[in-house]
Amino acid sequence: MHVSIVKPIGNALSSKTITNLGIRTLIEYRSVGDVVQVFPMDQVPGYITLVDPTFFEEWVKLGKNPAKLIKRYKLALTRLGHRPDEKFDSLVKAVVDRWINAYGPLTPILMDEGVTDVYIDLSGVRVNHRDYGLCVVRLSEVRVIRPVRLLPMRLTEANLTIRDLVNHIAVNVARRTRTPITAYMPLVSVTDPEYKVRFTISTEPVSRISIHVRILPSRPWTLPLLVKQGMLTINQAALLWRLAEDKVPILIIGPMGSGKTSLANAIAMMVKPHAMKVLIMDVDEMNLPGHLVVKLFERKSFGLGVRPITKGELIAHALRMGADYVIVNEVREPEEVKAWLNAVTTGHGGITTFHAEDYQQMIRRLSVLTPNPEDILRDIAVVVLGLDYVPTDLGNGVRVLRRFRYVKDIVVPSSVNDQPDIRNDLHIRRSIIGELMDAPIDQLLASISKLHTHA
């Protein structure tokens, strides 16, 4: 299962080619019956599947030269009737490199910009796609050989299965992010910055191993981009931009997967680039290129002598740093809620997210975490997000559920509507957002700076 060579079936919907670590992979999305399936096909000769990358791992750990093992495989495959060509050495290196240093055959899936989430467990792999909804990834078990001796030739055989793939991905996540996954620490959420993905892993003793991968956007979210995608109207975007500029605290609520963090990132991108923003996160999932930014990360305690560092402590530290804006990817605990509210009610701008299905549920949850939330919310703008799944017909009898995220409501403090210049200002911001729908980040930052130059 280190190489994906599957035979596609069904009707083709779309395809793309992704190259990573020297391996070209054709990814096809096809309708099979009434579902969409994904067929990742590495463009390599079939005999490459016989090469066992785990044998290379063991070989290198013993201090042996991997070039000698490649030569062994070449001779063994030749004796088995295959014809390795001049590209054999480089292909083996690429396949082994992708297995050891990346995520094997799932690596190109993680690089597909149409994919938003990947779900991996012992039953298989599924992805959530922007256009096709939930899809099944077709992977096949592969037979590998180990040339343990050439004279006389002695080969051992084994099968690489989904269990090997899942366990190996967990091991590579731990190694690449320097985060232990053990019986003492079986629940892990970390970000791999190279591939721009966030892994959430649960394993024994709390669960059978399962991995959820959130694909982070290749470019940062901005309000013009979210308007273009239909998540909010241009009027709502202009209002949120103005609220952030005025340092009105913004609390974004909604169900899981409704785009809370994406909207928080988009709003922060529109604030003055030279204003100091401190991003406080448990995992690295927000990005503000071109801005004056400091990122602070929560630390869990997973060993003796390792003191936890909470978001509450980081918020207090951000205030001592002189932050203009304190942006927290999510507040959950009482300490975090109180610290953020203290920060944004003392003149600092702030944006955060909070899990709640609607405004009333937010009030109920906040009342458990902090006293008298209604009094505090009078000075805070609350953005309520919605999440629907819309049936979409792809033709040939295939219907999928596409995720639709949208801004339901924006509840603003009464003082905002009393500002005399707000109507004209919102008109200017609407015009700028309309001009920046397809603009690169540099142009967006230049337009924001120009607005303040003329202010």
Domain ranges of the chain: 11-215, 223-453
The CATH number, out of the four listed (3.40.50.720, 3.40.190.10, 3.40.50.300, 3.40.50.970), of the domain defined by the range 223-453: 3.40.50.300
**Mean pLDDT rounded to a whole number for the chain:** 90
pTM: 0.84
What's residue 206's pLDDT? Answer: 92
* DSSP-derived secondary structure letter, 228: H
The CATH code of domain 11-215 reads: 3.30.450.370
Stretch 431-452: mean pLDDT: 87
CA atoms within 13 A on the CB side of 357: 3
Does 142 have pLDDT greater than 90?
A: no
Tokens describing residue 199 = 């892994």
Q: Which helix (H) or strand (E) holds 61?
A: helix 53-61
What's residue 454's pLDDT? Answer: 54
What's residue 339's pLDDT? Answer: 87
- Most distant CA pair in the chain: distance in Å? 91
Stretch 33-61: mean pLDDT: 92
Q: What is the per-residue pLDDT across 121-136, written as a single tens digit (0 to 9) for each?
A: 999 999 999 889 899 9
Residue 205 confidence class, pLDDT cut points 50, 70, 90: very high
From the list 28, 137, 132, 136, the residue with the least C-alpha distance to 398 is 132
Q: 3-state DSSP call for residue 430?
A: helix
Between 415 and 14, the more confident residue is 14
Domains 11-215 and 223-453 share a fold: no
From the list 362, 365, 369, 326, the residue with the least C-alpha distance to 346 is 326
